[in-house]
Chains A and B, each alone.
Chain A
Amino acid sequence: MMEWSLCALLGVPLLAGILSWIVPSARVRSVLVGVAAFAVVASGLAVVYGSMQAAEGIWEFAIPAKCEWIASVLEAVIILVILGIGIRTKNWWITVFAVLQVLLAAGIWCLPTEHHGDFVTVFRVDSLSRIMLLVTAIVGGAITVFSLGYMKSHAKHAPDTAASLGQFYFFFLAFLGFMAGLVMSDNLAAFSFFWEATTLCSYALIGQDGGEARRVNAARALLLNSLGGVFLLAGVYLLKSRTGGESFQLLLEKHSITLLPAILLCLAAFTKSALFPFQSWLLGAMVAPTPVSAMLHAATMVKAGVYLVMRLTPGFYDERAMTIVAFAGALTFVGGALLACTQSNAKKVLAYSTISNLGLVVACAGINTPLAYAAGLSIISFHAISKGLLFLCVGRIEQVIGSRDIEDMDGMYYRMPYTTCVAWVGMVSMLLPPFGMLLSKWLAIEATILSPFLLIFMVTGSALTVFFWAKWIGKMQNTGYHRDVPGEVIPSAMRVSLGFLALLVLVTGASTMFIFKYVFDPMARAVYHRYADINWCIFNEAGASTVTSLIIYGGVVLGLIIYYWFFWRKFDEKNIRLPYLCGENITSSELKSVQGARSYDFRSVGGKIEHSHFSNIYFHGIISEGKVTSVLVWAAWLIIVVLIGVCLAK
């Protein structure tokens, strides 16, 4: 049964992708994609459930040792494709990296393998994989459904250079399968195949609409990710040469001799997760259609990097190198948040905030205590849901108002109430206490107490995060009074998936404390159980705070009841007044009679009606994006050099 679910999870998306590329009819394609999304969710859940039933909650899938070459061959094929792209687009750096990867792959192939049995474990589903699988399947499924509605109208406005929708869905769906494979792989050959495959999908999807800007950004994404591929394969090569095998189990078991390979894998993860200094590709990738940004560049693909770090670090408890990894993450956390404060482009804000959160996960993984580990896990899962939702909302808003600038998003509640409410839920979930993101940040700060110099990064980063979210929420919900808000016309695919994700945010947000207590807490304990000297006390303390959430819920519910009873019910339209504009505001009756008048209009000289304009603070003239970025990039390179130095010195 489990094997079949696994096949469905990996095979159905690929198959549906190929079919939708071939099938000319748009309707059939929609049905195919819908079915594929459903199949991914169902089989993902089946795998998760099945693996939980297995002994110790770990389910393994092994193939005969003599079939091990399949993964390597598939990997080689993908690398050759990347090499081909490099040569065809005459991008020599990509070519150089691809050639390096080919050489490394050949090197790995030639190294002798020590077999411990007739079977090789390819997939290994443990609790970390399960979390990632749930995120990938559920959020990915919802985004796929959204893309059905989005791409239909996107295709109408797309430039002539755009590739066909069939091609889009092929890469999109195939990506889902690859991602699911990636998080389940135990064998590093299979892992690097899936890793390269997601890189390739990302390249194709960023370049979807064609044109110069997309081409450049897609090439940059491919360039940086193939640099990551070089790191990955170099790590695998070293691992195999030192231990004679290539699997995560081996890497973690023999941790005394595998630090350098692990750090190389971490560097690969940095490129995939777009940590500084590799952040530029993720920002460039925002030219892709929105479902792509949501799925690849917020919810799933960039999570592969942090997944890798989370997978590795517990094995290297008490290593100085891991503290330096934490610094790389913390730097990104602050840098991303700071740059997000200076942006007014909504997608860029989301991109920077994604980078920032990924940095936080890496920092948590680097701090390497059970509490930090649990915090990292919860950021991965809650962030994926909220950020996926927000990207979709921005995409939808951009389609309607034709702009992705935050300054253009005022009065959205009147223009598109449904999307605005959903986006509001997503954004508030980043700030509101009982919700997951804030709770994870809380845990992260509590965990940082053990590593002094990280503190300053954590503290400033979290203050900056609050700053840019509050600005955006404020602009988004800024609106006048409207008695009747017209219903929003929105394709049902979009409506369903947005509603589903918003519901997911609310439900997971409301039960965060319990999720933490019954899922993340035992996981972290299970991962760290073999280290006797670990500091558990801090962990017990944070786990005991269910009372906190009860107080919050009690208070909020009581407040809402009072609000409803005393204010909402007794709300009277005659109590509506226009905002204070020194008395120069237009009157309520003029608001109705004058065409195009808004509630914040005022009469200037000669009785002319004019708008009042106000905008957010973006630190213009104080912080320049370019300068800050270059400083951060240099600092990040310095950290990486120190990191490698520390490993070599050991």
Chain B
Amino acid sequence: MENMMKWLNDPVVRSVLALILAPVLGGIIMGLDRKITARMQGRMGPPLMQPFYDIIKLMGKEPFVLHRPQILYTMLHLVFMMITVVMLVTGQDLLMVLLIHAFSSIALVLGGMSVRSPYSWIGSQRKIMQILAYEPILILLILGIRLRDGSFLGSAVLESQEPLIYSMPLLFLAFVCVLAIEFGKSPFDVSSSHHAHQEIVRGVYQEYAGPFYCLTEIAHFYELALGFGLVMAFWHTNILCGFLLETVVFLFLLVVDNAFSRLTTGWMVRYMWTVPLSLALANLIWLWR
């Protein structure tokens, strides 16, 4: 047992494990999401493993592209998302992790903008607006952690004895809004939505087909795992409480997703730069001591 723990502490082992487990976790979260959404609407819903069937199927499709740079950007999107995960589990500088994560999203946007497709273009523009909307709050979150623990390193968070949620509840609320944007939940699902066929078709993802769409989906799984991993980090001292917190956030996001309709991009930026941003700032002032 002790040997096992020692082995787990090795950064290489940890990153390899994370790289394998994260998409699996993300896929299960996605499956749960679809299942519970269906139940909320009184439907039976797809099987839990449906996201995996989807990506396996997508791998076997014909690789349609518009030109080569598009594929490059898809790869960059995935690779940078993976780097984010690796850096997070090896306890690197959180702010750098965040910036790399931001570039990963930017790579997706650039891929969407590199092709001459109006729908993809509109989706990409909205995606940048999304990044613009949530980036400051994420940075403030990291700064809040720095203020509390005195270090930017991810490992410092795990070493501290007090759960983050005690000292930064307001930042946590702001972070939930960010999660809603990142996971494309209503009312923030402006850039690509399963429900917006008439408006933007599939937004940023529009021009990816077959295996390349599969790559973006896997990256999205990573993103899901990353987001919920961070939620877990808010209450890392007690696994049970962390799990509870996660469930609450998850169900809350689903309810909001089903209860709200999609709103405009301008509204999103205005909202994010007022309510969650001031929440985050208020929390920071309190942390300043």
Contacts and interface: CB of A to CB of B under 8 A. Distances in A.
Contacts of A464: 132
Interface stretch (A159-167, A235-243, A320-328, A438-446): A438-446
B272 to A, nearest CB: 10
Given A433-B103, A460-B136, A612-B118, A555 B110 contact: no
A612 B152 CA distance: 47
A551 interface: yes
Contact of B65 (A467, A474, A555, A576): A576
B275 interface: no
Contact of A456 (B103, B209, B281): B281
Contacts of A555: 79-80, 82-83, 86
B115 interface: yes
Interface stretch (A302-310, A577-585, A630-638): A577-585
Interface stretch (A384-392, A500-508, A558-566): A558-566
Interface residues of B, number: 69
Interface string B102-118: 11001001101111111
B164 to A, nearest CB: 17
Contacts of B143: 445, 449, 455, 459
Contact of B67 (A466, A480, A545, A562): A480
A470 interface: yes
A479 B79 contact: no
Contacts of A568: 68, 71
Interface stretch (A73-81, A144-152, A523-531, A614-622): A614-622
B122 A614 contact: yes
Contacts of A599: 66, 116
B79 A478 contact: no
Contact of B64 (A442, A462, A577): A577
Contacts of B136: 459-460, 463
B206 interface: yes
B113 A579 contact: no
Nearest to B65: A575
A480 B86 contact: no
B160 to A, nearest CB: 16
Contacts of B14: none
B255 interface: no
A155 interface: no
Contacts of A545: 92-93, 96
B129 interface: yes
Closest 10 interchain pairs by CB? A474-B113, A579-B117, A559-B79, A600-B116, A463-B135, A555-B83, A481-B67, A459-B136, A614-B121, A563-B75
Interface of A: 410-411, 431-433, 438, 441-442, 445-446, 449, 452, 455-456, 459-460, 462-464, 466-467, 470-471, 473-475, 477-482, 537, 541-542, 545, 547-548, 551-552, 555-556, 558-560, 562-563, 567-568, 570-571, 575-581, 598-600, 612, 614, 616-617, 622
30 contacts: A433-B100, A441-B99, A445-B143, A452-B284, A455-B284, A459-B136, A463-B132, A463-B135, A474-B114, A477-B69, A478-B113, A478-B121, A479-B67, A480-B116, A537-B150, A541-B153, A545-B92, A545-B93, A547-B92, A551-B87, A555-B86, A568-B68, A575-B63, A576-B64, A577-B64, A579-B66, A579-B117, A580-B206, A614-B122, A617-B125
